[in-house]
Structure 1
Amino acid sequence: MTTKTADPQRSPIIESRDQLIASFARGEKPAERWRIGTEHEKFVYRTADHGAPDYASPGGIRDLLADLTRHGWQPVTEGDTVIALSGRDGSVSLEPAGQFELSGAPLDNLHQTCAETGRHLAQVKEAGERLGLGFLGLGMWPDKARADLPVMPKGRYDIMRRHMPRVGDLGLDMMLRTCTIQVNLDYASEADMAQKFRVGLALQPLATALFANSPFTEGKPNGKLSYRSHIWSDTDPARTGMLPFVFEDGFGYERYADYMLDVPMYFVYREGRYIDAAGLSFRDFLKGELSVLPGEKPTLDDWTDHLSTAFPEVRLKTFLEMRGADGGPWNRICALPALWVGLLYDQGALDAAWDLVRHWTLDERQALRDAVPTLALDAPLPGGGKLRDIAGEVLDIAHRGLAARGRLNAAGENETGFLDPLREIVRSGVVPAQSLLDRYHGAWGGDVSRVYAEESF
């Protein structure tokens, strides 16, 4: 999630709705300036007992952040509390229960992305050896109840924890018990954004299936392959979902701005603190009628903050976020951006992907999304068959897109090799969660704690 570093008092006041719409146009870039931003989270645990460390105890999250500064990371504070780090590889931030996230820098190619990931994982593993901490790559805590988990000292999380139970049953699980991999990608124009948004939404269930990696809850199988994805179905309907309006004629910046104006607020950030505005209207804020800040109008930074509080399957800021994948190991962290860059950063591949899904109806897209957390690649496909029936074709399209980009490493290799972990999943027909369940019912003898030895970084 977003870490607050800006001073809203220095940001321009929003005088009209047009400024909200224009904020998306500022993200437009020519293709030669498109970049790749990869975000990945991991669970932190004490190697002595697999418990989740709190923030302030010796060997806890604060010490982990401090240890990483030896690699040049600079502390980011909220008040007197270090809550993140910034550096050449982007930023390191904390999810609500201490899940550790790298929000990578915007990079030109996947070779750079994977090198960045490797540097980060080497740094945290080195710190973990000193502090007695390990790092687990899954989509959901396999054995922790909510009560087992700490809460990080970030003001927005206090507001969200109070608000989540009012609007859904699983929002606290989303905050405390899940990890994800996300990819941030650029667009050239409003039309380019719309086409990429539509392809991203329609094929997000395939990404969820290929990366499904959260089959356990509190030590037992939970009946899902991606419980993380299932959680989003009962978190907050006002700010989640498949956004059917994206597929309507005329979709663009204005329609997404209207959607965000209807998403209830969480907070306003002023003078170093978060003011609880949960459930209030940004439309009222535009009129100077927000009850917690009467007479005050929002700034562009307030709008940027608000954009970060919606959680659809694909999210628009000044770039597009692909949000459908469970957390997982190093090679799948590199594979997710390979999938989406291959599909979205070459026009031929983008057109081919759109041709594959453009005839799906709203109900068919929603039914596929609803089925995937349980069935993964066996989810029924619109028009008949199963999702696995198009998985290979989608990877072929991504492969062609990556080959067309022609981004080579020092050995002269292009980016297509980063798709290999996904190729193996499609070839075997076994998604990561099914492999975990096979081991749980087999070699592990029902002991989910074995996951720490086999799925840690």
Structure 2
Amino acid sequence: MARDTSDTTPLTTRDELVAWFAAGEKPRSQFAIGTEHEKIPFYRADNRPVPYEGTRGIRALLEGVARRTGWEAIEDAGHLIGLAGAEGGAISLEPGGQFELSGAPLPDVHGTMAELGAHLDAVAAVAEPMGIGFLDLGMSPKWTRAETPVMPKSRYRIMAAYMPKVGTLGLDMMLRTATVQVNLDFSSEADMATKMRVALALQPVATALFANSPFADGRPNGFLSRRSEIWRHTDGDRTGMLPRAFEAGFGYDAYVEWLLDMPMYFVKRGETYHDVSGASFRDLMAGRLATLPGEYATVSDWANHASTAFPEVRLKRFIEMRGADVGGPAMIAAQAAFWTGLLYDADALADAWELVREWTSAERDSLRATVPRLGLAATVGGRSVGAVAAEALAIARRGLSARGRRDGTGRDECVYLRPLEEIVAAGRSLAEERLALFEGEWQRSVEPAFRTCTF
């Protein structure tokens, strides 16, 4: 997320909180695809992390991209921490310097791929003369938490202080992981609820398909998606499989109730972030926050609070898929195609719901717990995740075919599913391929990853 919301309209009733989500509804004709990805920068000469300051640091990299693209600077307490594009895209910094593109809403996956290519070209034109490369792994393979630079972003200081109070690996999540997300629209409360249920149930399947974080601290870490496992030990109040989404009558109000119960991180007034970590949004609504007495909730506060919820699928004014490790450009496009095919065609969505409808809450939780280590070999409902993934991909392919969105050469969006179909056919994720390289060609060193696993 590049920029916190700025809207000082007061919020006084629960109905206004519900209405904020309902305002995200769009007619199907206006459905778009938003893709976000993070990538970990490093110096090519010696595989060191890139600090914020310095002539070849992250700030200088942002300044160079701004000059090249004309994108507007985003600052926090005098620090350049992102860029905003005129068409809705943005570049932001994650806590450990992960360089993130938050893409503009686009009509199809072809547009996503074109946007991604233009972004990578612009960044490379600046980064290469600086000797900076970017890893396409879901976790930094070598540096410890202490060796990872910390970006000067106010909200991250508050989060970093709070994380150790509520989990054991929150700082690793912040500093050492990288993900790819796709944001999709909904047309009504019922449409939102169905999409949330399907996406939540299948999110661990996506984790298995995109598993790509098998190294940490210079060696294999025992997982195929260590990034996903780290999220299981970050903050139980705001992460996980959101079981209430599967309860009868789930809708905006139930999600609002969950957010009201979820502790806050901060309240922003002007340019100042006030640390209210652990406090209740209900108290802010009533003007009785202990650290900010007399301050009342605004639309900005609610939007910012919603952005600090981290379930496997997050509801904002769109639905955000959060289960995948980042990969290279083909995998980024594949993630957008996978979820677009499943959720944007009515028949595909119905078929996807049938695929997962009988899974129990215990089965979903067990799947979420076992996939980070086992990947496609994990099981759910008596089937392997590999078999479920093959069926989900077939549904997604039908959904994309029904959309009929073609590029200038006549290809439809199904072409972007091929990397995932190859993974299922081989029964082996990127993580497993790279572990095999580690044991063989790399001679049990992660150093070659800085040449092989890059954008």
TM-score, with length taken from structure 2: 0.98
CA offsets 1:72-107 (integer angstroms, 9 cap, x no match)? 222111232211001136000000010000000000
Query: Paired residues, what number?
Result: 453
Aligned equivalent of 1:96 = 95
CA offsets 1:310-366 (integer angstroms, 9 cap, x no match)? 100000010000000001111001000100000000000000000010010000111
Q: 1:194 to 1:6 in 2, by over 3 A?
A: closer
Which residue identity lines up with residue 60 of structure 1 in the other structure? G
Aligned equivalent of 2:429 = 431
Deviation at 1:385, TM superposition (A): 2.7
Is 1:153 aligned to 2:152, yes or no? yes
Aligned equivalent of 2:359 = 360
Q: Aligned-residue CA RMSD in angstroms?
A: 0.9
Is 1:218 aligned to 2:217, yes or no? yes
Aligned equivalent of 2:416 = 418
Q: SS in structure 2 opposite 1:76?
A: strand
Aligned equivalent of 2:19 = 22
Is 1:77 aligned to 2:41, yes or no? no
Q: Distance in 2 between matches of 1:28 and 1:145?
A: 43
Q: 1:208 touches 1:373 (CA, 8 Å); kept in 2?
A: yes
Aligned equivalent of 2:39 = 42
Q: 1:234-249 counterparts in 2 under 5 A? A: 234-249=233-248
Aligned equivalent of 2:185 = 186
Deviation at 1:374, TM superposition (A): 0.3
Aligned equivalent of 2:296 = 297
Deviation at 1:393, TM superposition (A): 1.1
Q: Distance in 1 between matches of 2:145 and 2:131?
A: 23
Q: 2:2 touches 2:102 (CA, 8 Å); kept in 1?
A: no
Q: Distance in 1 between matches of 2:125 and 2:397?
A: 34
Q: SS in structure 1 opposite 2:41?
A: strand
Q: Distance in 2 between matches of 1:162 and 1:343?
A: 39
Q: Distance in 1 between matches of 2:368 and 2:282?
A: 30
Which residue identity lines up with residue 447 of structure 1 in the other structure? S
Q: 2:136 touches 2:453 (CA, 8 Å); kept in 1?
A: yes
TM-score, with length taken from structure 1: 0.98
Which residue identity lines up with residue 167 of structure 1 in the other structure? V
Q: 1:247-326 counterparts in 2 under 5 A? A: 247-326=246-325
CA offsets 1:22-72 (integer angstroms, 9 cap, x no match)? 111100001000000000000000111111111111200001001101122
Q: 1:378 touches 1:387 (CA, 8 Å); kept in 2?
A: yes
Q: Distance in 1 between matches of 2:24 and 2:250?
A: 17
Which residue identity lines up with residue 58 of structure 2 in the other structure? I
Q: Distance in 2 between matches of 1:206 and 1:48?
A: 37
Aligned equivalent of 2:59 = 62
Q: Distance in 2 between matches of 1:252 and 1:442?
A: 51
Q: SS in structure 1 opposite 2:182?
A: strand
2:393 alignment partner, one of 392, 395, 402: 395
Q: 1:5 touches 1:76 (CA, 8 Å); kept in 2?
A: no
Which residue identity lines up with residue 419 of structure 1 in the other structure? L
Q: 1:290 touches 1:296 (CA, 8 Å); kept in 2?
A: yes
Deviation at 1:295, TM superposition (A): 1.4
Deviation at 1:6, TM superposition (A): 4.3
Q: Distance in 2 between matches of 1:6 and 1:424?
A: 40
Q: Distance in 2 between matches of 1:363 and 1:5?
A: 36
Deviation at 1:5, TM superposition (A): 4.8
Which residue identity lines up with residue 73 of structure 2 in the other structure? P
Q: Distance in 1 between matches of 2:4 and 2:167?
A: 29
Which residue identity lines up with residue 408 of structure 2 in the other structure? A
Which residue identity lines up with residue 324 of structure 1 in the other structure? G
Q: Distance in 2 between matches of 1:4 and 1:410?
A: 34
Q: Distance in 1 between matches of 2:399 and 2:450?
A: 36
Q: Distance in 2 between matches of 1:238 and 1:6?
A: 23
Q: SS in structure 1 opposite 2:263?
A: coil
Q: 1:375-394 counterparts in 2 under 5 A? A: 375-382=374-381, 384-394=382-392
Which residue identity lines up with residue 424 of structure 2 in the other structure? V
Aligned equivalent of 1:117 = 116
Q: 1:125 touches 1:135 (CA, 8 Å); kept in 2?
A: no
Q: Distance in 1 between matches of 2:14 and 2:88?
A: 35
Which residue identity lines up with residue 259 of structure 2 in the other structure? M
Q: Distance in 2 between matches of 1:6 and 1:372?
A: 35
Which residue identity lines up with residue 220 of structure 2 in the other structure? P
Deviation at 1:139, TM superposition (A): 0.5
Q: SS in structure 1 opposite 2:232?
A: helix
Q: Distance in 2 between matches of 1:401 and 1:73?
A: 35
Q: Distance in 1 between matches of 2:91 and 2:242?
A: 30
Aligned equivalent of 2:407 = 409
Q: 2:5 touches 2:303 (CA, 8 Å); kept in 1?
A: no
Q: Which runs of 5+ in 2 are unaligned?
A: none
Which residue identity lines up with residue 82 of structure 1 in the other structure? L
Q: Distance in 2 between matches of 1:244 and 1:72?
A: 44
Which residue identity lines up with residue 428 of structure 1 in the other structure? A
2:442 alignment partner, one of 441, 444, 455: 444
Q: SS in structure 1 opposite 2:118?
A: helix
Deviation at 1:235, TM superposition (A): 0.3
Q: Distance in 1 between matches of 2:338 and 2:19?
A: 29
Q: Distance in 2 between matches of 1:385 and 1:84?
A: 44
Which of structure 1's runs of 4+ aligned residues deviate more than 2 A?
A: 2-8
Q: SS in structure 2 opposite 1:102?
A: strand
Q: 2:163 touches 2:234 (CA, 8 Å); kept in 1?
A: yes
Q: Which runs of 5+ in 1 are unaligned?
A: none
Q: SS in structure 1 opposite 2:62?
A: helix
Q: Distance in 1 between matches of 2:368 and 2:79?
A: 39
Q: 1:89 touches 1:116 (CA, 8 Å); kept in 2?
A: no
Q: SS in structure 2 opposite 1:321?
A: strand
Q: 1:68 touches 1:124 (CA, 8 Å); kept in 2?
A: yes
